[in-house]
Amino acid sequence: MAEEYKALIGGEWVGSTTGETMDVVNPATGDVVAKVAKCGTAEVDRAVQAARKAGPGWASKTVAERSKVLLNLSRIIMEHHEELAKLETLEHGSPIRKTMNFDVPLCAEQFEYFAGIARAMTGETLPVGPWCTSMTVREPLGVVALITPWNFPALMVVWKLGAALVTGNTCVVKPPSIAPLTTLKLVELAMEAGVPAGVVNVVTGPGETVGEALVSHPDVAKVGFTGDTATGKRIMSIASANVKQVGLELGGKNAFVVLPDADVDSAAEGAVWAAFFNSGQVCAAASRFYIHESIYDEFAEKMVALAVTLRVGDPRKMETVIGPLAYKEHRDKVEWYIESGRKSGAKLLLGGQRPDTDETRKGFFVAPTIFGDCRNDMEVMREEIFGPVAGLARFKTEEEAIGLVNDTPYGLSASLWTKDVRKGLALAGRINAGTVWINEHLIIFCDTPWGGCKQSGWGKDLSKMVLDEYTMTKHIYIDLTGERVKPWYGLLK
């Protein structure tokens, strides 16, 4: 029988007022593995009020006190390393080699990082004049709503939660409906680490009810959202009614450019990583590959040869590299894009079908797929597929390549592959994206800012810049003259 999970409100585990639940399905098998509370607007309001009540006490703690809680949480996460990894593999389908070696250790590392950078939160003294002291201070925003995606269920909530907590905010988290279990476990560990009741609340439920209620709630000061661009636009629209702060980390259609002087072997290795890590379910995954015509055939051959060796199968096995897609409807959507690529005239170089093995038949698997000779007007080159699908195209000149890269409504990331670093830097400056890698793709560190431009959103996660996202800068002016009547009062006489 599937285990039942409840929401967390004010330090207590509670079901929905209606008693309804949602199924959590293992994407590797199609089996229901858990049921979670299907909350609604009543639970959202209770959670927001619990966060609001807990706010003054949490904000009044010193940065050192809040940092110690995060450091404690980092340690406890690693004590539950295997449990968290297995839970994420169960609900999301990420291979255990990834959840054990990447997701869970990074969650611990990032809480540790946020605990450290909090000490960089300083104000300024402004030299207005000798008659006053003018200064700025940082204050928490209040209650923040964190709406997180399903592609990295644990890691994406940590990105936002760590920054929000260490800056003194209280939180209401809406985890992804299809993969909420690791978030619920993380907040259980957060309470064990010393996070007071009400400081973090988790409300599970559909985006159209729970998500919209959070965004529209008058007592929510900010919404931090990672997800698709269409939902981001909807959040902006709803939040505008209360002039609410919104941080948006949205979709991408990321380019991978291989210049004629590039190390083709290195670029091909990087391409397979960039396209197929996490089954391509990464906002920064490379899906548009622009290869100089002089090396196109060599590159395509080497990329295909590397991709065909990737083991697709049971994500519980350490040797598995490619797991299933996160849910059935998403698998069907990715397959629709593959069929679109075929119909539009792209040349299928690899994949394009469901793997047919004992380990994959019941799950939502799609084999790594590579199309060649693509045009920029094809759907596979224009729309975010969010799956293991790569499109390759040729270019003749650097000018043409930059034009192709920027011919997109998105602006999250891109990469350039060249042995001439000076050329790489010059071309990087002409690409409209929040991150441009040179001779690398899809590598993100705690210390580096993450966020895009255009329809990939605005605002930053990670790095010291995230402190600006979760605090308000307040200006304070102190008169030093002691005079009852100031000279400028004369302007009214």
Q: What is the pLDDT of residues 79-117, one digit of tens each?
A: 999 999 999 999 999 999 999 999 999 999 999 999 999
The answer to whether position 446 is within a domain reads no
Q: Is the Cβ–Cβ distance between 341 and 387 less than 8 Å?
A: no
Q: Rounded to an integer, what distance in angstroms lies between the CA atom of residue 467 and that of residue 463?
A: 8
Q: Is the Cβ–Cβ distance between 325 and 27 less than 8 Å?
A: yes
H or E element at residue 454: strand 453-454
* Domain span at 135: 3-250+456-475
The answer to whether position 460 is within a domain reads yes
Question: Do 103 and 45 belong together in one domain?
Answer: yes
Question: Do 160 and 270 belong together in one domain?
Answer: no
Provide the token pair at 426. 């010059």
Question: Do 402 and 463 belong together in one domain?
Answer: no
What pLDDT, on the 0 to 100 scale, is given for residue 61? 97
Q: Which residues contact 469 (CB under 8 A, 6 or more apart)?
A: 163, 224, 247, 459, 460, 461
Question: Look-up: residue for tokens 């391509």?
Answer: 280
Please give the positions annotated as active site.
249, 283
Q: Rounded to an integer, what distance in angstroms lies between the CA atom of residue 366 and that of residue 7?
A: 33
What pLDDT, on the 0 to 100 scale, is given for residue 485? 85
Here the CATH number for the domain that contains residue 26 is 3.40.605.10
Chain centre distance of CA 122: 27
Q: Which residues contact 457 (CB under 8 A, 6 or more apart)?
A: 229, 232, 247, 248, 249, 250, 412, 451
Question: Do 345 and 409 belong together in one domain?
Answer: yes
The answer to whether position 202 is within a domain reads yes
Closest CA to 226 of 139, 322, 154: 154
What pLDDT, on the 0 to 100 scale, is given for residue 486? 84
The answer to whether position 480 is within a domain reads no
Q: Rounded to an integer, what distance in angstroms lies between the CA atom of residue 57 and that of residue 170?
A: 10
The answer to whether position 222 is within a domain reads yes
Q: Render the burial of 79-104: b for 16+ CB within 10 Å, e for the rest.
A: ebeeebbbbbbbbbbbbbbbbbebbb
Confidence of residue 2 (pLDDT cuts 50, 70, 90): confident
What pLDDT, on the 0 to 100 scale, is given for residue 396? 98
For residue range 259-288, list pLDDT tens digits in order: 999 999 999 999 999 999 999 999 999 999
What pLDDT, on the 0 to 100 scale, is given for residue 285? 98
Question: Do 246 and 271 belong together in one domain?
Answer: no
Closest CA to 236 of 12, 15, 457: 457
Q: Render the burial of 360-376: b for 16+ CB within 10 Å, e for the rest.
A: beebbbbbbbbbbebee
For residue range 330-380, list pLDDT tens digits in order: 999 999 999 999 999 999 999 999 999 999 999 999 999 999 999 999 999
H or E element at residue 224: strand 222-226
Q: Would you say residue 436 has pLDDT above 90?
A: yes
Confidence of residue 1 (pLDDT cuts 50, 70, 90): low
Q: Is the Cβ–Cβ distance between 94 and 323 less than 8 Å?
A: yes
Question: Do 246 and 258 belong together in one domain?
Answer: no
Question: Do 190 and 68 belong together in one domain?
Answer: yes
Question: Do 411 and 275 belong together in one domain?
Answer: yes
Instruction: List strand residue ranges (DSSP E) for 408-450, in order.
Output: 410-411, 413-417, 435-438
The sign of the torsion formed by the CA atoms of 330, 273, 186, 4 equals positive
Question: Do 234 and 263 belong together in one domain?
Answer: no
What pLDDT, on the 0 to 100 scale, is given for residue 484? 87
- DSSP symbol at 278: G
- Interval 297-309 mean pLDDT: 98
Here the CATH number for the domain that contains residue 316 is 3.40.309.10
The answer to whether position 30 is within a domain reads yes
- Interval 408-416 mean pLDDT: 98
Confidence of residue 482 (pLDDT cuts 50, 70, 90): confident
Q: Would you say residue 493 has pLDDT above 80?
A: no
Question: Do 201 and 304 belong together in one domain?
Answer: no
The answer to whether position 481 is within a domain reads no
The answer to whether position 493 is within a domain reads no
Q: Rounded to an integer, what distance in angstroms lies between the CA atom of residue 107 and that of residue 111?
A: 6
- Interval 42-64 mean pLDDT: 97
* Span between the terminal Cα atoms of the chain, in Å: 81
Question: Look-up: residue for tokens 């043409």?
Answer: 400
Q: Rounded to an integer, what distance in angstroms lies between the CA atom of residue 381 and that of residue 67?
A: 44
For residue range 440-480, list pLDDT tens digits in order: 999 999 999 999 999 999 999 999 999 999 999 999 999 99
Count other Cβ atoms within 10 Å, centred on residue 136.
13
- Interval 235-251 mean pLDDT: 95
Question: Do 108 and 171 belong together in one domain?
Answer: yes
Question: Do 389 and 461 belong together in one domain?
Answer: no
Closest CA to 286 of 296, 300, 271: 271
The sign of the torsion formed by the CA atoms of 9, 205, 106, 170 equals negative
Domain count, the chain: 2
Q: What is the mean pLDDT of the chain?
A: 96
Question: 93 φ, ψ to 5°?
Answer: 90, 5
Identify the burial level of 240 via C-beta atoms within 10 angstroms of its C-beta, where 0-12 means exposed, 13-18 middle and 19 or more buried.
Answer: exposed
Question: 349 φ, ψ to 5°?
Answer: -95, -25
